[in-house]
Amino acid sequence: MKNTVLTLQQQKRNGDKITMLTAYDYTTAKLMDKAGINCLLVGDSLGMVMLGYDSTLPVTMEDMIHHTKAVARGAENAFVVADLPFMAYQVSVEEAVRNAGRLVKEAGAQAVKLEGGKEVCAQIEAINQASIPVIGHLGLTPQSVNVLGGYKVQGREHDAAVKLLEDALAVEKAGAVALVLECVPATFAEWISSILTIPTIGIGAGAGCDGQVLVYQDMLAMFSDLSPKFVKKYGAVGNLMKESFERYAQEVKDGIFPGEEHIYNMDEEVLNELKKQFEEEQNEYR
Ligand SMILES: Nc1nc(=O)c2c([nH]1)NC[C@@H]1CN(c3ccc(C(=O)N[C@@H](CCC(=O)O)C(=O)O)cc3)CN21
Ligand SMILES: CC(C)C(=O)C(=O)O
Ligand SMILES: [Mg+2]
C-alpha cells in the first residue's frame, strides 16, 4: 500500500523508525521501493551526484521535475518527496507555491522539502494551504553554503542551538509534516525530536531522530567527491562498477564478449544464397 503523510506520523507515534534514501531515477527507485524503504527523496543533491556540480546551487526546477518524474514511476509504495531547489521558494511566497505545485502536478511528488527556519515559514504555510505536504530542513542547509562557509556541523554553540530550536518549533507550527536535521550534534537532535510532535529525519544527526536519510551514492560507496563522517558504506558498489567496466572492456578487446550465448542465429542457406547473389551481381559491373 502507498505510504502517505499519515504513515509518517504513525511511525513516529509507534517508535517505528522512518527509512528514507535519496533516489533520482526509475531503476534505483524501484529497487529501493522493493527493498521496503519508506520514503524516497529526490534531493537537490542530484546536482552533485548526478550532474557533477560542486554544490546544489545550480539545480533548476526543470532538473527536479525531470528526476522526480522518473522516481515517481518507480515508487509503488514509497512516499516520494522532492526538494525545492535554490531560488525556487526564497523570492516570494507565490513562487514557492507555484513551484511546489509543479513538483506535485507535473512530476508526481507527494510532498516537497525546503530549507530554512522562520524566514521560510510563510512559504511553508502557503504551500500547506495549497494541500501540499511540506517537509522542513534545518541544521546544515546546503543551499546556504556560501553564508555557512562550508559543509559544517551546526548548532553546537549556545546561540546557534537556541536559533535552531526556535526554527524547528516555528517550522512545526507553520504546518510542516516532518523535519530533516542535517549535521547536528546527536544529543541535541534527540532532544529536539522528543520536543517536536512531527517526525525528525536525521542525516549526521544521530540515532535519536525518528528516521534516517542518506544519499544513496554515499552509502553504496559510489561517490567520493565528499566524505562526510555520517556516511556508513553498505556496499562497495563503486568498486564493483569500476571492476565490471574494466572486465567488459578487456573481454571486448580480447574477443571474449560477446559469446555464443549472446548472439542471434540465421539459417546458413539464406546467408549462402545471399552471398552467391551478391558475387554474381558484382561480376556484372566489372
Ligand atoms: N553526495 C552527497 N552527500 C551528501 O550528504 C550531501 C551532498 N552530496 N550534497 C549536499 C549536501 C552536502 N553535504 C555534506 C557535505 C560534506 C560534509 C562534511 O564533510 N562534513 C564534515 C563536518 C566537519 C565539522 O564541521 O566538524 C565531516 O567531516 O563530516 C557534510 C555534509 C550533505 N549533502
Ligand atoms: C541530504 C538530503 C537531506 C537532501 O536534502 C538532498 O539529498 O538534497
Ligand atoms: Mg537537499
Report, as an integer, the average pLDDT of 168-184: 98
Residue 285 pLDDT class (50, 70, 90 cuts): low
Residue 34 clears pLDDT 80, i.e. is over it? yes
Closest CA to 109 of 75, 142, 138, 141: 75
Written as nine digits, the cell of 23 is 533516489
Report, as an integer, the average pLDDT of 172-196: 98
Could you give the CA distance from residue 249 to residue 277 in angstroms, rounded to a whole number? 37
Is 113 labelled as part of a ligand binding site? Answer: yes
Both ends of the chain: CA-CA distance in Å? 72
For residue 51, give every residue at least 6 positions away whose Cβ sits within 8 Å of its Cβ, in sequence order, or none.
58, 59, 63
Is 125 labelled as part of a ligand binding site? Answer: no
Q: Report the predicted TM-score, pTM, of the whole model to 2 decimal places.
A: 0.97
Residue 165 clears pLDDT 90, i.e. is over it? yes
Q: List, in order of start, the domains of the chain with CATH numbers.
A: 5-236 (3.20.20.60), 241-285 (no CATH)
Could you give the CA distance from residue 31 to residue 47 in angstroms, rounded to a whole number? 22
Residue 69 has φ and ψ, to the nearest 5°, of -55, -45
Best of 183, 184, 231 for a ligand 1 pocket test (most atoms within 8 Å of beta carbon): 183
Q: Are 109 and 75 in contact (CB under 8 A)?
A: no
Residue 221 clears pLDDT 80, i.e. is over it? yes
**H or E stretch at 48:** helix 46-49
Encode 128-162 in three state secondary structure.
HHCCCCEEEEEECCHHHHHHHCCCCCCCCCHHHHH
**% of the chain with per-residue pLDDT over 90:** 98
- Does 223 contact ligand 1 (Cβ within 6 A)? yes
- Does 24 contact ligand 1 (Cβ within 6 A)? no
Ligand 1: residue whose CA is nearest its atom 9: 45
Classified as helix, coil or strand, 116 is strand
Q: Are 198 and 18 in contact (CB under 8 A)?
A: no
The confidence score (pLDDT) of residue 272 equals 98
Residue 15 has φ and ψ, to the nearest 5°, of 70, 25
Cα angle 246, 249, 253; round to 5: 140
Q: Are 44 and 58 in contact (CB under 8 A)?
A: no
The confidence score (pLDDT) of residue 284 equals 78
Ligand 1: residue whose CA is nearest its atom 25: 152
Classified as helix, coil or strand, 78 is coil
- Does 49 contact ligand 1 (Cβ within 6 A)? yes
Residue 23 clears pLDDT 90, i.e. is over it? yes
For residue 249, the CA-to-ligand 3 centroid distance in Å is: 36
Ligand 2: residue whose CA is nearest its atom 8: 43
Residue 282 pLDDT class (50, 70, 90 cuts): confident
Provide the pairing of β-strand 178-182 with 18-22. Answer: unpaired
Report, as an integer, the average pLDDT of 146-175: 98
- Does 152 contact ligand 1 (Cβ within 6 A)? yes
Residue 283 pLDDT class (50, 70, 90 cuts): confident
Is 157 labelled as part of a ligand binding site? Answer: no
pLDDT digits (tens, 9 = 90+) for 73-122: 999 999 999 999 999 999 999 999 999 999 999 999 999 999 999 999 99
pLDDT digits (tens, 9 = 90+) for 230-254: 999 999 999 999 999 999 999 999 9
Q: Which residue has the cell 556496499?
A: 235
Could you give the CA distance from residue 236 to residue 240 in angstroms, rounded to a whole number? 6
Report, as an integer, the average pLDDT of 191-200: 98
Long-range contacts of 218-223 (CB under 8 A, 24+ apart): 219/21, 223/48, 223/49
- Supply the residues annotated as catalytic: 182
Mean pLDDT of the chain: 98
Ligand 1: residue whose CA is nearest its atom 22: 152
Q: Which residue has the cell 553498505?
A: 234
Comparing 216 with 282, the larger pLDDT belongs to 216
- Does 56 contact ligand 1 (Cβ within 6 A)? yes
The confidence score (pLDDT) of residue 286 equals 63
DSSP 114: -
Q: Are 114 and 166 in contact (CB under 8 A)?
A: no
